[in-house]
């Protein structure tokens, strides 16, 4: 049973692939995910194609994983490699990147995913095949106190790495890990509109949800050579919104001064 209302040629390609897989007999459904899922109006020339193939049993799964002839027969496959125990990434000749995984129905019921769409399903497969068996989970305790102090200690560790000359490690702590906690704080305090929030990747579409005044990303993430400046901006942003424990504030102030002197 196919679904329609395609909005992009690459989604039509996925539809044709799903119909071809349906001819095998051991495929239960093909599910589109991400921008190929229920929010396919987001799909554009810069999107990749994410999908699940749901099969009858482990034997069918092994066959589809080991033999990519079903994908090669489209004539569009340029390259593929195993990127997960359950699937592959593949590149089509037109530059489209695919990421797919193959699961049995029992495995699918144990997965956590959102926004899946039935591209095709066998006639005996229920409509709710695209429904996750488990809700998505957020990493870490969902508490402001936790994310605030994680952000601050990430800044402190990053500044220590910077002074040691470990600039790449410092970049990750200051401009990646701490900023991830900033995004978590915005979500928890209600500053983020819920529309199109990705529960698995909080950085997705963040620029569309916040103004530069709400979230000064250009200053928080200025790049590899600007770790100390980035730490100052993020620290000031946090301190303007929440009280900082005096001992932690003193440690950060001292470390920032030492980093400036280096």
pLDDT band at 213 (very low <50, low <70, confident <90, very high): confident
* C-alpha neighbours within 13 Å on the C-beta side of residue 80: 21
- Same domain for 150 and 252? yes
Q: Which residues pair with 29 in a beta bridge?
A: 54, 121
* Sign for the pseudo-dihedral over CA of 94, 76, 101, 6: positive
Domain count, the chain: 2
- pLDDT recorded at residue 174: 97
Nearest CA among 126, 130, 124, 98 for reference residue 111:
130
Q: Average pLDDT in the 221-240 region?
A: 96
Assess if residue 190 is contained within a domain: yes
- pLDDT recorded at residue 8: 86
- pLDDT recorded at residue 45: 84
- Same domain for 17 and 117? yes
- Same domain for 198 and 224? yes
- Same domain for 102 and 23? yes
Nearest CA among 162, 164, 163, 183 for reference residue 173:
162
Least confident of 124-138, 175-189, 191-205: 191-205
Assess if residue 137 is contained within a domain: no
Q: What does DSSP say about strands 77-84 and 49-55: parallel, antiparallel, or unpaired?
A: unpaired
The answer, yes or no, to whether residue 4 has pLDDT greater than 60, is no
Main-chain phi, psi angles of 49, to 5 degrees: -110, 115
- Same domain for 104 and 177? no
- pLDDT recorded at residue 3: 47
Least confident of 160-164, 197-201, 206-210: 197-201
The pTM assigned to this predicted structure is 0.69
- Of 82, 99, 130, which residue sits at a domain end? 130
- Same domain for 175 and 251? yes
Assess if residue 219 is contained within a domain: yes
The answer, yes or no, to whether residue 2 has pLDDT greater than 80, is no
Nearest CA among 6, 35, 24, 20 for reference residue 75:
20
- Of 74, 95, 130, which residue sits at a domain end? 130
- Same domain for 118 and 180? no
Task: Domain of residue 49: give its range.
Answer: 9-130
Mean pLDDT taken over the chain: 87
Burial of 53 (0-12, 13-18, 19+ CB in 10 A): buried
For residues 222 and 230, the answer to whether their CB atoms sit within 8 Å is yes
pLDDT digits 0-9 by tens, 29-46? 999 998 899 988 888 887
pLDDT digits 0-9 by tens, 118-128? 999 999 999 88
The answer, yes or no, to whether residue 195 has pLDDT greater than 80, is no
Q: What angle, rounded to 10 degrees, do the helices at 227-239 and 144-164 form?
A: 160
- pLDDT recorded at residue 192: 52
- pLDDT recorded at residue 258: 87
- Same domain for 155 and 257? yes
DSSP output for 149-169: HHHHHHHHHHHHHHHHT-HHH
Assess if residue 182 is contained within a domain: yes
* Sign for the pseudo-dihedral over CA of 173, 175, 180, 186: positive
């Amino acid at each position: 049973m196919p679904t329609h209302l395609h909005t992009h040629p690459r989604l039509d390609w996925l539809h044709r692939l799903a119909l071809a897989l349906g001819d095998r007999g051991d495929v239960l459904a093909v599910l589109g995910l991400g921008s190929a899922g229920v929010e396919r109006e987001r799909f554009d020339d810069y999107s990749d194609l994410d999908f699940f193939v749901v099969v009858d049993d482990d034997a069918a799964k092994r066959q589809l994983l080991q033999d990519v002839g079903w994908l090669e027969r489209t004539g569009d496959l340029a390259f593929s490699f195993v990127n997960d125990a359950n699937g592959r990434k593949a590149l089509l000749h037109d530059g489209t990147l695919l990421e797919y995984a193959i699961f049995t129905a029992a495995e699918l019921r144990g997965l956590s995913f959102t926004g899946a769409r039935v591209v095709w399903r066998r006639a005996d497969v229920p409509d709710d095949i695209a429904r996750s068996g488990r809700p998505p989970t957020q990493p870490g305790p969902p508490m402001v106190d936790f994310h605030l102090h994680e952000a601050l200690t990430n800044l402190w560790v990053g500044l220590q790495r910077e002074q040691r000359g470990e600039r790449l490690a410092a970049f990750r702590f200051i401009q990646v890990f701490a900023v991830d906690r900033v995004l978590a704080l915005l979500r928890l305090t209600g500053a983020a509109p819920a529309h199109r929030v990705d529960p698995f990747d909080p950085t997705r579409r963040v620029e569309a949800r916040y103004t530069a005044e709400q979230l000064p990303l250009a200053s928080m993430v200025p790049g590899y050579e600007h770790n100390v400046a980035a730490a100052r901006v993020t620290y000031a942003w946090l301190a303007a919104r929440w009280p900082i424990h005096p001992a932690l504030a003193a440690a950060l102030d001292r470390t920032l001064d030492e980093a400036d002197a280096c």
